[in-house]
Structure 1
Amino acid sequence: MWNGSGCEFCLCERGQVMCQRAECGRVQTCPLGEGLVHLAGKCCPECKAKLGSCVYTPQQQQGQTKPSPAQRLADMEKFTEGPCRECQCRDGEMTCYHPSCPTCPLGTLAVPVQGQCCPECQDVACHQDCMTCSRSPEHCDSCKDPGALVWNGRCVQACPHAFYSSGRECKACQPGCATCENGFECSSCAGPLLLRNRQCMATCERGFFQDHTQCLRCHESCSSCRGPGDSSCLTCSSTAHLLKDGRCVVECGAGFFSSGGACHGML
């Protein structure tokens, strides 16, 4: 299929060319500041911002009871919204961006300033372990020791419990993990939680039994169990089987009768 001319689309099928015109949906009205225009190479008219001006609606700030009214900006006119957001009208399109902040030199402190987008670089010596620091001289962003890791603004040789090393920093494990190797799996669990499929949970699910601090799968014949093997079943996987002394059997055998899915000894 190809575009013949304007709104005409042609299709080659079994050696014949068939063409037909496309139907455009009816546009009733365009939003404020836009008009219905035919763009080059487009078949149907579209609503586009009128060149030379833009309609800008400021973002609603926290605490405002109602949004700010829309504003019309001339081409190339700028609008500042808060300390870290600037918008500009360019050829009828509104472009918003966050200004980039310069990186503070090594050994200086990046201090946030209220009402100002970029922090100020203060000539304050960082802690002796820090290559760079922020918020305070003791809060390290990177370490001088190439083998050290950043943990809560400190340089450490190994990550503590419930944290794992990622690059040159320590990141928190999932909630409930005592140890982990990444951010989505646990190696061991904290407190009374149990480990199953590298996830920590309060109790073992049906089909699993508790073995110290982890959940292990029951034998395939058991739907619930108290331990491993086929002699530790509490209930059976198949409704056709009967529970007899921890095992799931087809028949109870002599001296037993079945009741409620289990085998009971005759008196």
Structure 2
Amino acid sequence: MRIDVLSLFPNMFSGPLHDSIVGKALERDQLELQVTDFRQYSTNKHGNVDDYPFGGGAGMLLQAQPLFDAFAATQKTASEAGIPSGRVILMDPAGVPFTQKVAEDFSHEDHLTFICGHYEGYDERIRTLVTDEVSMGDYVLTGGELPAMVMIDAITRLLPGVLGNDESAPGDSFSTGLLEYPQYTRPADFRGMKVPDVLISGNHQKIDEWREAQSLKRTLERRPDLLKKLQLTPKQRHLLRDIQIELDESED
């Protein structure tokens, strides 16, 4: 996968995205990352990329010209390498919320371009370049760089071969729609806190059943809203009823 990022602060990406899983993906050529400072494409002699909004109002808006020209340059480079244009993602608090499902959707693309804004907002014409407007949540950050880095991390770990164990990503919280079950490692008894017997029983069917029940329980306790979005199997609905009864009894 190739990822292009258009940003006024390209140096922000050099640390977080060159360590850990993303850094290894870059080293192995599983991911190509190009960060472009779109200020370099400003035709203003002072290198300005923002201006006052027509009609008045607070703050400054990013101008269309620098971003249009930077975008054209990155797309040309990708095209010459035989890489399709792909999807163009605008970091915007008004966009659709970024979720694991969105990350999985993006991970199937060959090429993604992230546009990171600053100042009060964008000249509306910039949106004509965009295929997806995405938000990290109902809050406002200084710029789009941090959300872009979070999204790139979430997407990269879903690429084939990036994680050491191909079963790791599908088992993550939210990948199944449920929160992940509790996990333990050695020792089996740490300061009197013991690993559940089922996990050291060697009975894989029982282990799978325990994990499913624990995922349902943890989701019910911490994120019950997620359960409303799922089509539970009859078995899961039965488990959930038992879990709810157990929780109700423990509160009495």
Which structure has the higher relative contact order (CA within 8 Å, separation 6+)? Answer: 2
TM-score range normalised by the length of the shorter chain:
under 0.3
Give the TM-score, by structure 2 length. Answer: 0.22
Give the TM-score, by structure 1 length. Answer: 0.21
Rg comparison, structure with higher value: 1
